Amino acid sequence: MVCLVRSRGHSWHESDYSWDRMVRPFPVIAAVSLKRNNYSVMGRINLWSTSRLNSDPDSQTNPDTPEALKKAGDEEFSRGAYASAVEKYVHAIEMYPDYLDAWNNLGFTLRKLGREEEARKCNEKVIQLKLRSQTEAGPEVPRQTPKHLRKDKNPVIAAVLSVIPGLGQIYCGQIVKGIIFLLLTIIGLILFIIPGLIIWVYAMYHAYKTSKRMNAGEIPWKETKAVSMIGFIAVILVGGIIIFTVFQAPIAIARADTLNRNGIQKLNTVQIGDGFSSLSQVESAKRDFIQAHDILSSVRDPSNPGQEDLQSMLLVTELLINASDVSASGVRAYSSQTQMASSINSMDWSSAGQENQRAKTEFEAMYTSVQQITTTLAALERTSGTSGSADIIREVKRNIGPLNTPDYIRLTEAYGHYIASREYNQQVGTYVSYEKGVMDKASMDHYMALSRDEELKALEIAESLMDSSVPKVAENAINLARVCKAGLYG
């Protein structure tokens, strides 16, 4: 092979020496002497060319060449014999000080041995050689970790690690992306749930695809650092503890508020006349309120004065539990009154009396719940931090206003007296026979007197309720008073 060289002040001409004669027998000396005499070759003859070494069979088999020593070092590295690999790389560099690949692999191996300062110096030398090569021969493709020094990523492991959002990316060496996936997943789960789950699943897919692309060389390969993975998990654990400690009350309030509003929507669909269908809705709403109450109670700390918002939400939830009780009592009372009216029309006074008593029991329970709501509202007025639930409080006040009265109970008492008078009147008939006339006048007079007394009591209560603030109560009281007067006075 003949190469072109140029001496100072002379034009290009053919050298009498071939490449093998000039460089191969004495690589270091030849490189130095060429530089000292200001000779340069078209290309880079002052650096040992790796491509030249790779193409030369002797350089692969001769154990005394830099390339053979570098290759032996690679083999030692692959076996985990890092100290022996260092010796081979150093020997190669001693033979050829500007051997870029040997410097690069030496630095990587020293880092494996924990000799960071020496590895840093090797890295500086690699950078120096790269800059020199770019100056002399143009830009070079950035050098990555040599493939024989890499370990392929396992895509399945990357996906499984992403069960902890972002850890799969850390496994692939993408620390920033791992942190971003973690934050987005947490935010999505807290605020929207479904988007958070979507991001979580995508993080698994992304880690899987990234590891495969790294193995295929489609994107730069990055080392898996156990320290980064352990640190990432530690940050998650510590952050989780901090979030749970600092934000458990706000998170509990947010969850309780969602449950409360779901329950309110169910109560708003209740129609009193729908009977057991409405009762099912009320019971479902109450379960939501009880769940919200349990969540708030689990994080409540009575000794912590900074939990005013939580205490207010707890009171609001108790308010809604009582409101659901009021709704349930109202549905059952309405159902009993409907059955009572049907029994009165068929003159089944015994059944009418039973249904009226059930209605009275429900109205008493409703009135008790309303009183509890009134007490809770008074407590809320003395508590700050109710602005977030102001609309709920207003709605409850508006709905219980007409119910905060014993008039419903008193109306059932009036009906009870009226039904009793009809039962006594029915007893009078058992002592009269169309064929035999009066059979027992004394008993007949007794039951007639009892019937009249009961009807007078019914009339008295009904007349007192004719001006009730509850329109429905007043309407029923007027109708009952009219019936009682007709029975008493004809």
Q: How far apart are CA 411 and CA 480, in angstroms?
A: 9
Pairing of strands 437-438, 4-6: unpaired
Is pLDDT above 50 for 303? yes
Class of residue 439 by CB neighbours under 10 A (exposed 0-12, middle 13-18, buried 19+): exposed
Instruction: Give residues with Cβ within 8 angstroms of 9, minimum separation 6.
Output: none
User: Domains (ranges, CATH) in the chain?
Assistant: 4-141 (1.25.40.10), 155-224 (no CATH), 252-489 (no CATH)
Partners of 13 in the β-ladder: 5
- How does the average pLDDT of the chain come out, rounded? 80
One-character DSSP codes across 74-141 = HHHHHTT-HHHHHHHHHHHHHH-TT-HHHHHHHHHHHHHTT-HHHHHHHHHHHHHHHHHHHHHH---P
pTM over 0.85: no
**Model confidence over 347-394: pLDDT tens digits?**
999 999 999 999 999 999 999 999 999 888 888 887 766 666 788 888
Contact call for residues 341 and 356 (beta carbons, < 8 A): no
Contact call for residues 327 and 282 (beta carbons, < 8 A): yes
38 falls in which pLDDT band (50, 70, 90)?
very low
Q: How far apart are CA 47 and CA 132, in angstroms?
A: 10
Task: Select from 467, 464, 427 the least CA-distant residue to 448.
Answer: 427
Which residue has tokens 């409080």? 393
Average pLDDT for residues 272-278, to the nearest whole number? 68
190 falls in which pLDDT band (50, 70, 90)?
confident
Q: How far apart are CA 30 and CA 51, in angstroms?
A: 18
Measured CA to CA in angstroms, residue 172 lies from 145, 160, 183 at distances of: 14, 13, 18
Q: Chain centroid to CA 210: how far?
A: 26
**Model confidence over 447-490: pLDDT tens digits?**
889 999 999 999 999 999 999 988 999 999 999 999 999 888 86
Q: At what angle do helices 308-345 and 226-268 cross, to 10 degrees?
A: 30
Q: How far apart are CA 359 and CA 278, in angstroms?
A: 17
**Model confidence over 127-185: pLDDT tens digits?**
888 887 776 554 444 445 555 556 789 999 999 999 999 999 999 999 999 999 999 99
pLDDT of residue 63: 65
